[in-house]
Amino acid sequence: MTVLEKEERKGKIVSLVENYYRQYDFLHYEPLMFLVNKALDRFLETDLSIEQIEKELEKIVLEKKEAMQQRYGREEVVENHKVLYEQLGILVKLLNQEEVDFQITGSLSAYLKSGEESTRTHDDIDLYINEDDFEKFQNVCEKMNLVFEDNRLDSPRVLQNGIPVGEHEVIATKPDSDFHIGVFCFERLVDGNVIFRSYYHDEDNDPCVREEIIGKDLAKEILGKEKVTFQGESFYITPPEYVYLLKRYTNHQKDQHDIRFVEERLDPEVLGKLHTLSQTEKFVQYAKLERESELEEEEEEYEEEDDFEEEMETKKGNSAQKKVLKKKANRRGSISLSSIILTLLIIIALILLGLIAYMMFLK
């Protein structure tokens, strides 16, 4: 295919997408250029004729229309919300009973704060959960007859544009149902900072982690700031303004729907404050993690050492996996804190030396 032929083919595909976009209003939940680029990525380099591409696009549009009906149809929404809010009520009650450090996040937080139901179906409940409380969360899942999965060391996610994408690495699913609870992992540091962790695997299939370190001022605004009461249970939610900042650039149709809902209810002052803090109080770093097989190799290396049992005990057992995951982050946090202390000591020493020199000069 020559360059000219390719440009001509590209123009015809773009024209087909634009025609469907004008014909079906439900497509407008996603930007036109987003749909155009998806079509070009899928069809431009294929051997399909323009007529065949048109038939494929028609099939995609009809499937999308059916999916829209399932997501936005009145009967579907009513039935879905019955399950969603029933599960939510049970979930927050059990989480409170177990004293889990958690917070409802995602678009659901905006609907809970406003007291209004959304006009679409929801397949999941998103949570922030402190990694220290994963065992408690697992107990909650068992009581709800949910299947708990912790895939932090074997995450299905991959890194795209610096962000891990794919299914949650920590998730609780309901058998024979699309409903699930997706978990976003975090850790509270003693200085008030918070680390959000997302796990993924690299091109060598090695487990890795993306850590987003949140300064204490921003952490105070997004964790433990806004509280709601639902079915007699009080719990924290992520401020809708922060959810908006995280989702405003997404092209997913359901997210665009939620963004439009949130936009009408934003507090400009809160939004501005969160936006400013997000520019100055976020730091991202990446690290590789150790697999269980690597721990076993380390076990063999230290087998004859006196402190073997104590050292390996901290890396194994139910709480061990979490300690392994936090190992490098804690080391970096300690190094960072040590660096700050060392810098302060140097400054104080320099000041004292300056004073001594000055006093000697006066003598």
Query: Burial, 42: exposed, middle or buried (Cβ in 10 Å; 0-12, 13-18, 19+)?
Result: middle
Q: What is the pLDDT of residues 335-354, one digit of tens each?
A: 445 556 666 777 777 777 77
The CATH T-level fold of domain 81-286 is: Beta Polymerase; domain 2 (3.30.460)
Q: Domain locations in the chain?
A: 3-72, 81-286, 291-362
3-state secondary structure of 297: helix
| 47 phi/psi in degrees, rounded to 5 | -95, 5
The β-bridge partners of 288 are 208
Report the alpha-carbon distance of residue 65 to residue 69 in Å, rounded.
6
Rg (CA), the chain: 26
Report the alpha-carbon distance of residue 196 to residue 184 in Å, rounded.
7
Report the alpha-carbon distance of residue 197 to residue 282 in Å, rounded.
13
* Nearest-10 crossing angle of helices 240-247, 107-114: 150
Q: What is the pLDDT of residues 22-36, one digit of tens each?
A: 888 777 767 788 889
Q: Report percent pLDDT > 70 for the chain.
A: 82
Report the alpha-carbon distance of residue 304 to residue 60 in Å, rounded.
63
Q: Is the pLDDT of residue 314 over 50?
A: no
Q: What is the largest CA-CA distance in the chain?
A: 97
The β-bridge partners of 287 are 209
Q: What is the pLDDT of residues 174-206, one digit of tens each?
A: 888 888 999 999 999 999 999 999 999 998 889
Of residues 73 and 155, more confidently modeled:
155
